[in-house]
Amino acid sequence: MNDDIRRRLLECPMEIQGRILSASNATLHCSLDEDLAAVYKPQRGERPLWDFPTGTLTGREVASFEIDRALGFGLIPPTAWREDGPAGPGMCQMWVDEDDDARLVDVVAPDAVPSEWIPVLRATDGIGNPVALVHADDERLQAMAVLDAILNNGDRKGGHVITDVDGNVWAVDHGVTLSVEPKLRTVLWGWAGTAIPTQLLTAVESLHGQLMDGAPEIERWLDRYEVDALIDRCASLIKYGTFPVPNEDWPAIPWPVF
């Protein structure tokens, strides 16, 4: 099914329905045919960042999808590059309808942490009330945490973890990924320092092998140094076999968290 959706993302005419104003870069909601909607991010709508080369963020979204696909996780919605987008070349990704009542990341009162959920940090809200950032102890989020470590994801907000109306879990918004410099910022620190499950490490080993043999669908979006850093991150996960811990030289939690 995902291959068919990706084919349609590549081939079907896109019609812009509106703009998502909360996004920092130009993010457009589009329809492709009767039953397929998409998020379209034109390259020319990127806001320049000091720490990423200009015009590369949308390509990093496609690279992230290809990495997720190579891992076999299936967490990133089908994603394609459109040269003929209505606002120019850019990334096109299947739209996901979120079930707001099925979120797996939340901010709650410290005494209201759901059973079997994992607290990440405690803080205070805008009026001084204590709150806790928490996420579910869910194997799909474990896979997402491994994916983020590989991607060096600098912006895994709670709102970038989506549960759809059918109960599927998706990871979205991967523009600030795949830097050479360590930039991991995430709300999914619940397993930090603990052993990565065997099946996830096996997937990382497979990706590492593919990259060592050459993976043009990934490499076309990155420079040589970024590919080398990607290979090194896979090798480090394989060597140590544990989820990463926060870097003291870099903020661990994205802001805002949602």
Domain residue spans of the chain: 2-99+137-240, 100-136
Task: Indicate the pLDDT class of residue 248, thresholds 50, 70 and 90.
Answer: confident
The CATH fold assigned to 2-99+137-240 is: Transferase(Phosphotransferase); domain 1 (1.10.510)
- Among residues 49, 40, 48, 46, which one has the least CA distance to residue 19? 40
DSSP code per residue over 64-108: HHHHHHHHT---SPPEEEETT-BTBSEEEEE---B-GGG-SEEEE
Tokens 């590369």 correspond to what residue? 56
Radius of gyration of the CA atoms of the chain, in A: 18
Predicted TM-score of the model (pTM): 0.95
Q: Which two tokens stand for residue 44?
A: 């020319």
User: What average pLDDT does the segment 53-79 reach?
Assistant: 96
pLDDT in tens, 7-56: 999 999 999 999 887 777 889 999 998 789 999 999 998 988 888 999 99
Q: Which two tokens stand for residue 216?
A: 């043009």
In whole angstroms, what is the distance from residue 178 CA to residue 174 CA?
9
- Among residues 133, 225, 114, which one has the least CA distance to residue 185? 133
Instruction: Evaluate whether 156 touches 188 at the Cβ level (below 8 Å).
Output: yes
pLDDT in tens, 211-229: 999 999 999 999 999 999 9
Residue 133 has pLDDT above 90, yes or no: yes
CA distances from 85 to 3, 40, 82, 141, 220 (A): 20, 8, 6, 32, 19
Chain mean pLDDT for the chain: 93
Percent of the chain with pLDDT over 70: 100
- Among residues 9, 61, 11, 10, which one has the least CA distance to residue 36? 9
Residue 123 has pLDDT above 90, yes or no: no
Residue 1 has pLDDT above 70, yes or no: no
- Give me the pLDDT at residue 174, please: 96
In whole angstroms, what is the distance from residue 240 CA to residue 222 CA?
26
